[in-house]
Chains A and B, each alone.
Chain A
Amino acid sequence: SQTIHQWPATLVQPVGSPLSLECTVEGTSNPNLYWYRQAAGRGLQLLFYSVGIGQISSEVPQNLSASRPQDRQFILSSKKLLLSDSGFYLCAWSTAGTSVTYEQYFGPGTRLTVT
């Protein structure tokens, strides 16, 4: 069965510090990978998605970047955090391909507080 991991689970960082959040998926190959952010009182917003190694698409202009160095690894980064980067970050995966039936499956999330 497939499993998705995220770490760390919680993180408190000062403004201006760097960020690295990691997501890994087990039990599947060549998944589509996604980073979402859930800010307080707001819905989930897609930040980045990737259909393959080194292939990253950004949905919204922001202070963050994403990378996919391996097939089942997705990393969210920032060089200098802003207060507005605080939120709950969720990684998700779905089966690759052109079928419209695929569900998205989410990880446990990382709670980021920028102080």
Chain B
Amino acid sequence: KQEVTQIPAALSVPEGENLVLNCSFTDSAIYNLQWFRQDPGKGLTSLLLIQSSQREQTSGRLNASLDKSSGRSTLYIAASQPGDSATYLCAVRPSFYNTDKLIFGTGTRLQVFP
């Protein structure tokens, strides 16, 4: 059974710091991994999608890496800003399912203070 874990559960940092959020999964048989952002009381915004054949994806100040064999992904946020405060979720798409079902971690709640 695929399980996804995110560490840390919560993180509070001053503005300007570079951050690393961690995601680990127990079964390396995945099609892809997706990182999302969720603001309080809101839906999910897709940040980055990494295919199983890729090592990393970049979008602006965000960089996500994937090491499928070790079951790990990291989301790197450069020069953090207060507007980055949100919960960050990772999700994997297991390759043994017939649909694009996602298995989610419980998230990392990030607070960036001025």
B-binding residues in A (CB < 8 A): 6, 32, 34, 41-46, 49, 51, 57, 59, 88, 90, 92, 94, 100-109, 111
Known A43-B4, A43-B105, A51-B99; judge A108-B32 contact (CB<8 A).
Answer: no
User: Is there an interface contact between B104 and A43, defined as CB atoms closer than 8 Å?
Assistant: yes
User: Is there an interface contact between A44 and B89, defined as CB atoms closer than 8 Å?
Assistant: yes
| Chief secondary structure at chain A's binding surface | strand
Q: Which residues of A contact B10 (CB under 8 A)?
A: none
Candidates B45, B91, B100, B107; contact of A102 at CB < 8 Å: B100
* Chain B residue at smallest Cβ distance from A41: B106
Q: Which residues of B contact A90 (CB under 8 A)?
A: 43-44
* Chain B residue at smallest Cβ distance from A10: B41
Q: Which residues of A contact B42 (CB under 8 A)?
A: 108-109
A-binding residues in B (CB < 8 A): 4, 31-32, 34, 36, 41-46, 49, 51-52, 89, 91, 93, 95, 99-102, 104-107
Give 6 closest A-B pairs by Cβ, nearest first. A100-B31, A106-B44, A44-B104, A43-B106, A43-B104, A106-B43
The answer for the CA separation of A70 and B36 in the assembled complex, in Å, is 28
The answer for the CA separation of A11 and B15 in the assembled complex, in Å, is 36
A43-B106, A108-B42 known; 6 other A-B pairs, CB under 8 Å?
A44-B89, A45-B104, A101-B51, A104-B91, A106-B43, A109-B43
User: Is there an interface contact between B46 and A104, defined as CB atoms closer than 8 Å?
Assistant: yes
Candidates A41, A46, A57, A108; contact of B102 at CB < 8 Å: A46
Known A44-B89, A104-B34; judge A32-B44 contact (CB<8 A).
Answer: no
